[in-house]
């Protein structure tokens, strides 16, 4: 693992700006293409790159990311293949975060997954369907391999639960800005600032927001409120249509500053 890599926590912490975390699906539209696109995204000025591992039952994903995962699976993408994609992109110098569901980790073997992810140069892991209350021993194995464990807080999360999520998170805390699935939306939801304030009461980690964020005006609205914004569906949609997602990323980055 390259020591030169900035820690995930430092990379996504706002510094008078808003950081951008880009999301892509490993193996979409195919392995070779996803490595090419990932390298370009990693070099585009984003603070970190989130790489999805495709899964047949992605309960947090909206139609765009679901479809990308389906295409990746049909083209033979596996957990091992996704780790190879991550390793190929990790050399570009931005922290890589894997986003996966618990089933692929369990079927790969959690200890082996943790070791191989660390070896691939991955910085952290997000598992949306792993509740913090049931996160051991998997989270412990990830941490033992020096991987950040990033847990999610939703608008429906009670304060005492938010506190325990913050305690067990490292790297950053992921605020899900909507109740429901991923997908680009026109408006950012009400109550978002309250959610960030709740999380900040319980942690000094950076706060990143995701789900539904896709436009420059969303970035402007979050500057000074969150540390980072995660943009997924809008980027994956561009990749799906054969467009260059870096054009969108550059436009979003302008609004972050």
The first and second tokens of residue 136, run together, are 């051991």
The first and second tokens of residue 154, run together, are 């939703």
* Sign of the dihedral through C-alpha 253, 255, 256, 257: positive
> Residue with structure tokens 């990033």?
150
Checking if the pLDDT of 75 tops 50, the result is yes
What's the mean pLDDT in 241-246? 94
What's the per-residue H, E or C state across 96-129? EEEECCHHHHHHHCHHHHHHHHHHCCCCEEECCC
Q: How far is CA 107 from CA 26, 80, 102, 112, 132, in A?
A: 18, 11, 9, 10, 20
The number of residues in the chain equals 257
Report the alpha-carbon distance of residue 242 to residue 245 in Å, rounded: 9
Among 3, 17, 36, 61, which one carries the catalytic annotation? Answer: 61
Among 50, 116, 148, 237, which one carries the catalytic annotation? Answer: 50
Count of Cβ atoms closer than 10 Å to residue 69 Cβ? 24
The topology under which CATH files domain 17-254 is TIM Barrel (3.20.20)
Q: What is the pLDDT of residues 89-138, one digit of tens each?
A: 998 989 999 999 999 999 999 999 999 999 999 999 999 999 999 999 99
Could you tell me what percent of the chain has a pLDDT over 70? 94
Strands 96-99 and 152-153, how do they pair? unpaired
Looking at residue 5, its pLDDT comes to 57
50 is catalytic: yes
Which one has a higher pLDDT value, 192 or 253?
A: 253
Domain residues of the chain, as ranges? Answer: 17-254
* pTM, full prediction: 0.93
Contacts with 38 (C-beta within 8 Å, 6 or more apart), sequence order:
24, 49, 51, 85, 88, 89, 92
Q: What is the pLDDT of residues 4-55, one digit of tens each?
A: 457 999 999 999 999 999 999 999 999 999 999 999 999 999 999 999 999 9
């Amino acid at each position: 693992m390259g020591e030169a890599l900035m820690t995930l926590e430092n990379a996504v912490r706002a510094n008078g700006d808003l950081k951008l975390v880009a999301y892509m699906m490993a193996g979409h539209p195919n392995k070779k293409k996803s490595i090419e696109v990932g390298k370009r995204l990693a070099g585009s000025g984003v603070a970190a790159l989130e790489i999805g591992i495709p899964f047949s039952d992605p309960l947090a994903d909206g139609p765009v990311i679901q479809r990308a995962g389906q295409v990746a699976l049909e083209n033979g993408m596996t957990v091992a293949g996704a780790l190879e994609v991550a390793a190929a992109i990790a050399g570009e110098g931005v922290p890589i975060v894997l986003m996966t569901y618990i089933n692929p980790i369990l079927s790969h073997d959690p200890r082996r997954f943790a070791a191989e992810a660390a070896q691939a140069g991955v910085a952290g892991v997000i598992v949306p369907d792993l509740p913090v209350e049931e996160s051991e021993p998997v989270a412990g194995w990830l941490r033992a391999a020096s991987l950040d464990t990033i847990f999610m807080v939703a608008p429906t999360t009670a304060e005492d639960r938010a506190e325990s999520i913050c305690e067990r998170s490292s790297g950053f805390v992921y605020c899900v800005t909507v109740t429901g699935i991923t997908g680009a939306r026109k408006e950012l939801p009400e109550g978002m600032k309250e959610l960030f304030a709740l999380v900040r009461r319980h942690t000094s980690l950076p706060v990143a927001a995701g789900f539904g964020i896709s436009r420059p005006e969303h970035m402007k609205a979050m500057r000074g409120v969150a540390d980072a914004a995660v943009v997924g569906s809008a980027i994956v949609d561009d990749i799906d249509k054969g467009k260059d997602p870096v054009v969108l990323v550059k436009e979003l980055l302008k609004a972050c500053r």
